[in-house]
Every structure is written in C-alpha cells, then in structure tokens.
Structure 1
Amino acid sequence: MEKFEHGGNIYREDVPAGDWLDFSANINPAGLAPSVRAALLAAVDDVINYPDPEARELKAALAERYNVPAEQLVLGNGAAELFYLFLQTVRPRRVLLPVPSFSEYERAALAARCKVSCFALSAENDFRIDWEEMLAALPVTDCIILGNPNNPTGTLVTRNELVRLLEAIKDGTQWLVVDESFLDFLLFDSRYTVRDLVAEYPRLFVVQSLTKFYALPGLRLGFGVAQEELAKRLNAGKDVWNVNLLAQKAGVAALADTEYQQQSRQQLIEEMQRLYKRIDGLRGIKAFQPSVNFMLLDVSGTGLSSSGFTARLRARGILVRDCANYTGIEDDCYVRIAIRRPEENDRLLAVLEEF
C-alpha cells in the first residue's frame, strides 16, 4: 500500500453490481441531512459569486454551536488542510506523533520539513497513552499532534489528561495540536474537549472536522480554534477563499439542525454496541471497543493478513480500511470498519460469519 493512502476511495476500481458498500470511510451513517440538501440546492445559482472571504455567517454559527469567540476560529477546506496550515506557519522543528494515528499528521509534518518522531501505542494497552512516558519525551519535541478520539484505534483522551499535558508545556516552547474531528459523535463531549482552553493555553491548537459528522466529505469543511493572535497568523497564511460558497451554506444549515444531530448520536450509539458485540464474538477476530463511528479489528486469528482479508471482502462488494500502512501497526493484521446503518451492518456481518 502507498504510505499515505486513505479509505473511501471508491474510484480506484471497477464498481461491482449494486455499487460498493463502503465501510472504509468513517462518515455519519445517517447521510446528508435533508436541511443541508435543501440549503445546497437553494445556493446552487449563487456559485457565480465568490464565497464570503470572512465566512461571517458560518463563523457566527460555529461560535454559537461550540461556544467559542469567532475571533478564535480558522476555517479549513476540511480538517486536514489545517494541519498543513499550522505546521507551515508555526514551523516546529521536531514533531512527536502517538502512533498509530491519522496519516495526514505525518504527511503535513514532512511537508513542513519537520523531523517526525513516533510515540508507539501498544495493542496490549488498548492503544492508550502512557502519560509518564509522554511527559518524559517533552524535552526532545517542539510539537505533539494527537487525535481525540484517535483514528484508527478509537481511543479517547480525557480533558484532565490533556490539561496535565498543557500544564507541563505551559511555560515552555512546545505546541499541542488536538484533533477533535470525531467528538461530535459523542452524546456529551465536555469530558474530552479542550477547545475552550485556547485563551488559557496559547500554545494549544484544536482542530475539528464537519465532514465526518455531517456527511460532507465531498465538500470538505473543518475549523480550528486558536488563541486570537495565532488565529490571525493562520488566517493570514491561508487562501482567502479556501472554503467555497456551497460548503459555507452547508455548514450553516448543518449546525442549525439539532434534530439531525441528536438522532445521529443516539442511533449510532445503539448500532455501535450491537455491531461490536456481534463482531467481537466471531472466531478469529478481536474487536477493539469503539467510542465513535469506527472500529479497529485484529484479524490475525483468521489466518488471513489484513490485505487478504480486505481482498476477500472487496470481492463481495464491501470495502474496509486496510491498516497496514498506518505507522505503528505495520504487522499486516489490522483493519478498520465504519459503523453504518443496521441493514448495511447486517450485510457485513453475514459475510464475516460466512468467512
């Protein structure tokens, strides 16, 4: 596999009869909200105009939804763009990555000519961070990037744990970047988020995607929260029209649709637990407890490699994420699946039980 290959690439191969059933992309199974679809259709004729370079309407909606000042917001063409923007602007020399993790952290760091070091997470410890070891690594790093929850492991880091890390770097020169792109899937995120702490800890940058929870990956939309001076630097360093008009309109509509938000969370939690119990009971597969809309599987007990496992599913029209190219779990035995609608999950279960 290519080192920075992602899931969700439905264009690479011939489409099977009936289309792909894509478990490789971890997107809200509820799909596009009707309110967002309506907003997009209503705005189609407006694409003859440039988007608002200040994205005032969207920033106001984000400020209200996430209870952060608009002056602290930086908008991105997807969350991934914001990692590149931050690293190209701040230019830390040494970046530490708990791995396995989202590969764009490493790719963005390499693009900014950073030296990347890896902090290995172990399956035996359910891929949780050893905080004593993490704190001991601070003197030899300039920036730590971590996902909360982490992709692909689903591991959550508590707010208290992050505050401990922030206190440790408060008087130093290190930066902490926290990717909260999947926190919207939780019923309550107050135990985990640190987006409200950027004023208190100016060397903190929090990134969040809107494409995951609101099922907008084709539009690309994300935002960052930073101390006001850093937000100004980041906004000055990006393309002025990096968030297009349709993405801005979709974001405003999505953030206003509280019914979609509540139903998505409740339905996901119920289906996530059902799927976890069914898969973890299959011979040869170890499922790691999911926290949001994806689940990591160790398939070594099946006698198949991750590539062999994904190939057998692909032959049945089902795509899953082969994790062999994730730094930190290159032993070719892990795959990640998304949590989809019950009838789609039942189709996956039927094939897995048959195998």
Structure 2
Amino acid sequence: MGKTFLYKAFLAKVWSERLIAIATAISGIAASILPRGRTAHSRFKFPIKIGDNSMCSFTKQSGTAELLRRASLIIWDEVAMTKRQCIETLDKSLHDIMECGLPFGGKVMVFGGDFRQVLPVVTRGTRAQVTDATLQRSYLWEKIRKIRLSRNMRVQSDPWFSNYLLQIGNGTEETIVDDYISLPDDIVIGFTDMKVAVNKLIQDVFPSLVEHATSAIYMSSRAILSTKNEHVDRLNAMMIERFPGEEKVYHSFNTIVDDPQNHFPIDFLNSITPNGLPPHELKLKINYPVILLSNLDPNNRLCNGTRLMIRALQDNTIDAKIVGGQHAQKRVFIPRLPLSPSDDISLPFKFKRK
C-alpha cells in the first residue's frame, strides 16, 4: 500500500538522522506491518475505561514518558477506527510531560486512516454516537493538516471495482430504501437454497481445494467474510469437512467466577461462543488456515488477526507457520494456556474459557 510505504519512508528518514521515531496502530495486525510497530494502547498506556478526562497510565518519571519526550516523530495508523477520547488523552498527557500547550506537546504527529472504512466501535451505539466518537468530532480536528492519497494501490488491476468502492465510500453510489445498495449481478451468487448457495460460494472462492490445500499462497490469498460469528462458525464447519486430512478435536474447559448456586451449568457454557474466543469444540487439520485471536507476542507478529497454517497438532501445543508479512514462514508453537484474568468475558456473569 502507498500509505505503508510512506510510513516506512518517514521512519527510515528519522532513524537515519539518529533520531527517535515511534510507530503505532490501533490493532496488533496493523502494528506488526510497521517497522518496530506497537499497538497504541500498549505504547501509550491508555486506561481500559477511557473518558473525556482520562490520562495515560504512565508517570512523568517513567521510561515511556522519557521515550515520548525524546521522540521526534510519532506515527499512528488506523486512527479512523480509534475513539477520539484516546487521541485526546494522548494530547493531554503530552501537554503534561512536555510542559507545552501546543497540540500533542509540540510533537510531530502523523495520523493515517480512512473514514470511509470501519469507524470506532460503540457498543450498541446509534449512528450519531458512532460519529461522535470519531476524530472528526474532536477539538483537535481543525488543528490537523489533511493530506489525501488519491490512488487505490490495492485494486489497480481492477479499476471497475476500485471506482465502485470509492462511490460507496463517498456516498455517491445509488441507494434504495434505508441507504441499502444494490450489488451488481457480476459479484452476486444467485440465491435458490441456502446450502446450495453457500456451497457455490465456497467453490468459487476455493476452487480445487484438495489439490492446493498445502499451498500457503493459495490459502492466504483468499477468504470468505461474514457479518456474524454464528455464520462464520457454520462456514468453518463446512470448510473443515471439505479439507483433506485427519481431524483433531480440542475441547475447552469453562468455569464461572462466583457462581456457588450453579445457575449456569457447564452444558450451557459449552454452547456459547463470546466475541474473541474460539468455539467450545475446535476442529483442526494439518495445513488448515487459522487466525490468532490474542496478542501473544506482537513483536514477533503473534497478535490478534495473524494468519497461520497448521503444521502439527499436539495435545497441549499447536505447531503453526505464519503466512504473509515480514515474518512469513516463521514457525511458532502456540500453547494451550488459560486466559489471563483480564480476558474474562462479561456476560450476565463472569465467564472464563481455557
């Protein structure tokens, strides 16, 4: 991408002058693409619950504060997905440690993002609440110089699709009731029966699956996206059946915190799949593609969103290979460890899955 190329050029220029540059992104997978990249929450120590009056969780005497004081450049990618309170919190914290009233304490900040893509997630939020959470609603927006990239580097081989995406993002594509968009027939699979339509989709996305099952390039260059986790689970169940090889099944161990009356039986816990957790029954095969759901080791690209291929399945570890990025082909061993307390899932109860 052109944006990533610019980031790397900025970082290389600053580092070549023996100055300090910091690269961050809102997600682990985006941060791993940047040289020495870290997630913004990890680098700036944002509190878990953030509000209009929050401050970063580092002191003026800490190593993080000293690093930020000495930094000549700070890059923050995917800022369009970030709640404005996070950016404002960093602004106030830099005012404090730099003892300077300029925006971000006088630091050179480079933000990157596209407001035509995914906006900040506001739980059960209305359209107005989501819009209010964006950087464009911050007091900092008017103080930021806007520079726009005009060419979509990802879809140069398909200009029609590129223009179609831009029309949707710019709001110029013709809409029908409730802002729905009619998809062109060329990119739609006609619906007759649910099972028939899904099988046709799988066949179109993964043609000759058995012959290419061992190819990392084949498996990492295609994917089926869905709107809900329940649909993803059904697609995964169909794909694992089609995939060649012997199947190994892993089962979770579920517990409730502070439930002496046993109001939530184990059978019920096994039936639910909260966001960010694998299903109770996880079926895997050798060479099967998987996506990591936790930030195990972001510095080595083992973070939420990393795509891997299974190389071996043990009782307590999974041997996998990273596909794509600067760490491609690197083999890693993922232990079957319990989640940390901070990974508890808040339902009507405290739920832990190992």
TM, length-normalised to structure 2: 0.35
TM-score (norm 1): 0.35
Larger Rg, first or second structure (1 or 2) = 2
